[in-house]
């Protein structure tokens, strides 16, 4: 199945891209997806091992099981206000 991943602010600058599509096996969790991305090495390996993540615009836990078509956003430390 395929998911879309979004990178914002410092993560986007770090990776040089704001989004990517990723094919993952059924049943992959948020933490499994993070491990897959970090395992690509280079700048990806400098992403935090347990980043704050939103799935379809809601904050999600690392054991959340992803579904086909999900939009997953990596959320750097927020600084609104």
- Contacts of other proteins in 50-79 (CB under 8 A): 51, 54, 57-59, 73, 75-79
Q: Kindly give the pairing relationship between strand 71-75 and strand 58-60.
A: unpaired
Instruction: Report, in Å, the least distance between residue 63 CB and other proteins.
Output: 20
Answer for which of 9, 24, 36, 64 binds other proteins (CB under 8 A) is: 9
| Of 15, 4, 9, 5, nearest in space to 78 by CA | 9
Other beta carbons within 10 angstroms of residue 77's beta carbon come to 9
Answer for which of 1, 6, 22, 24 binds other proteins (CB under 8 A) is: 6
């Amino acid at each position: 199945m395929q998911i879309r991943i979004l990178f914002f602010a410092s993560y986007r600058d770090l990776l040089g891209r704001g989004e990517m599509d990723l094919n993952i096996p059924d049943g992959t969790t948020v933490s499994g997806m993070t491990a897959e991305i970090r395992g690509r090495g280079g700048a990806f390996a400098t992403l935090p091992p347990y980043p704050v993540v939103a799935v379809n615009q809601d904050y999600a836990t690392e054991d959340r099981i992803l579904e086909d078509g999900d939009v997953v956003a990596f959320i750097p430390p927020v600084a609104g206000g």
